[in-house]
Structure 1
Amino acid sequence: MTKKVPPKTINWGIIGLGNIAHKFATDLLTVDGTKLYAVASRNQDKAEAFASKYGAVKAFDSYDALAKDPNIDAVYIATPHALHKENTLLCLKHGIAVLCEKPFAMNANEVEDMIAVAKENNTLLMEALWTYFLPHYKHVLKLLEQKTYGKLLKLEADFGFYRDFDNSHRLFNKSLGGGSLLDIGIYPIFAALSTLGIPENISATANYFDNGADASCNMVFEYQNSVKAFLRSSLVEDTPTEAIFYCEKGIIKINSMFHAPATVTLTKNDGAIETLDFGYNSIGYNYETIHFTELIHQGKTESDVMTFEFSRLLIKTLDQVRSLINLQY
């Protein structure tokens, strides 16, 4: 009897060691067959502290040094939006699989460059839009696809929270892609595109901080048969941060922090209400990491879930909204 050889452990690197990198690293430790091998920051002390906290083997003070390490199989890019393209190309050219945090890049042209280089180097690349892989969201997609509650008639999705303005923080810094649209508006837009597809028409309005970054954005996506998606993002107020799908036979509501592990409430037209708890015991980044790791083992160069085509659609839609609200970086 031939003994089954376990899959090779995937050595991960992380570039950019801010808040989201800590969340990713926390969940990476729970994924079988993976190891946090190296981390990189432009500050050596920060890199060493991060490496010590999560058990990484190496800590680098430059992204280039990490990319040149031959032992790294995959890299998670968690730098500010404006650096995504540069950091992704660096890793792809060294043959390292790249999971790049959303938004993929600053605009559609940058995304096309990234996809082209991934193909040239025959190397796996995927946008890390974690919501697509969360069990509650996959369940809602299935309910909508199977028309369990009839046709989808309207969508309302929002994402908003209040933060004191700080131009030095990447969230508000326009040169880094700061503002509500790219950072959190992408989630309501994702909800619309992943359930309703490409809209026939988009209208949008925005309010701005003094530095020109968008403080909030309101969008309406119009589809055939008068179906509409009402979407909102804001950095100046706390909003419910829910996604509500109004269907012919009832309402599917992803409760607060819909983009992250959440519960789902189902309300039928006859008044019956059921709330589904998906028993999450992680932050939620492990699900996209498991998918990405499987793609590596399968020798794939593109995800069959978060496809290049969907990433293109997402960034082109963001570009269209930016054009409508006259937001330029």
Structure 2
Amino acid sequence: MTTNCINWGIIGAGKIASKFAADLSTVSNSNLYAIASRNLEKANLFGKEFNADIAYGSYEDLVLDAHIDAIYIATPHSFHKAHTILCLNHNKAVLCEKPFAMNLQEVEDMIQLSKEKNTLLMEALWTLFLPHYQYVLELINNNHFGAILKLEADFGFHPTYNETSRVFDKSVGGGSLLDIGIYPVFAAISTLGQPESIEAKAEFFSSGADSKCDIKFHYSSAKANLKSTLLAETNTEAIFHCENGIIKINGRFHEPSSVTLIDNQGHSELKTFNNKTIGYSYEIEHFNQLIRDGKTESDLMTFERSKQLMSTLDTVRALIGLDYS
């Protein structure tokens, strides 16, 4: 493994892989070395578009390539565990797209193997690494406006219904909760911690995937109202109502955005951030540094944080009767 340039491989050649590859090209001392798809023609097209050194028509061939230092997994949710284990068994550092897996047991299996192999593994929840989100976490940790009393966070868009699309396919983890509801849930857990109790209700497509999900987290001195929907465009904001003011992450809060601060006297201040990439560059830079430092776990997106997130999502699924098995 090199200590300067990190050679990346990508498993899966879909939309999110394209965004990741575009940002990877902006990160210094990083190289898209290989792309793998089950369809070699698709891999070749992807490789040409993003200047990959080599394209593979099988994931197994990619993990056997000794030149690769890190692998980004960009396949549908239901394949995350299997593809992570494939990579770890070949001692490849793994950055696995969110959600980490389909349930807590799968997450724990992945983490256990990472520890056994002494090989780096991290969930790619890019929001945590974005400058505006780190800024908000710092404000909250420093009690800028005092304690949080209420959080309101939503994520909604309205794609054309198509049962063959991954978004609507329950068998691969499709539906609003795991695809986009994870972001409002993460906003709550990363600022308020795990709730003391949860309420949740959902509606479903004919495919069995959830079309919308409304969740309430209850804490001893705060509450969080969280919404995800594939039936309508929403503001996709995260609004923290605190004792002495409001911290509002403007839409769309999960990606590079701005922050509005409003004190109890009504004074408003807009904070903007000079983002020059789609936003995946920040988690890539973090992961690259972990590799160079010889780390096997992130100090930001820790194993415990991933387990808490998935445990909470499991609880919500049980409450709304969503069973992927």
Q: Under TM normalisation by the shorter chain, which class is it?
A: over 0.9
Q: Which amino acid aligns with 2:309?
A: L
2:39 pairs with one of 38, 43, 51: 43
Identify the residue that residue 99 of structure 2 maps to in structure 1: 103
Q: Which runs of 5+ in 1 are unaligned?
A: 1-5
Identify the residue that residue 227 of structure 2 maps to in structure 1: 232
Separation in 2, partners of 1:160, 1:58:
37
Identify the residue that residue 314 of structure 2 maps to in structure 1: 319
> TM-score, normalized by length of structure 1?
0.97
Separation in 1, partners of 2:90, 2:147:
47
Are residue 149 (structure 1) and residue 145 (structure 2) matched?
yes
Q: How does 1:109-188 map to 2 (within 5 A)?
A: 109-188=105-184
Report % sequence identity.
59
Q: Deviations over 1:112-131 (max 9, x none)?
A: 11001111111000000000
Q: What secondary structure, in the 3-state scheme, does the structure 2 residue paired with 1:280 have?
A: coil
Q: Deviations over 1:57-84 (max 9, x none)?
A: 1100010010111110000000000000
What's the Cα RMSD here? 0.8
The 8 Å contact of residues 243 and 254 in structure 1, kept in 2 or not, is answered as yes
Identify the residue that residue 304 of structure 1 maps to in structure 2: 299
Q: What secondary structure, in the 3-state scheme, does the structure 1 residue paired with 2:184 have?
A: helix
> TM-score, normalized by length of structure 2?
0.99
Are residue 27 (structure 1) and residue 27 (structure 2) matched?
no
Separation in 2, partners of 1:273, 1:252:
10
Separation in 2, partners of 1:19, 1:211:
22
Are residue 92 (structure 1) and residue 88 (structure 2) matched?
yes
2:245 pairs with one of 231, 243, 250: 250
- Deviation at residue 7 of structure 1 after TM alignment: 3.5
Are residue 208 (structure 1) and residue 204 (structure 2) matched?
yes
- Deviation at residue 211 of structure 1 after TM alignment: 1.3
2:259 pairs with one of 261, 264, 288: 264
Separation in 2, partners of 1:249, 1:108:
37
The 8 Å contact of residues 7 and 33 in structure 1, kept in 2 or not, is answered as no
- Deviation at residue 8 of structure 1 after TM alignment: 2.4
Count of residues in correspondence between the two structures: 323
Name which of structure 1's ranges 122-131 and 164-173 shifts more when overlaid on structure 2.
164-173
- Deviation at residue 164 of structure 1 after TM alignment: 1.3
- Deviation at residue 198 of structure 1 after TM alignment: 1.1
Separation in 1, partners of 2:163, 2:84:
26
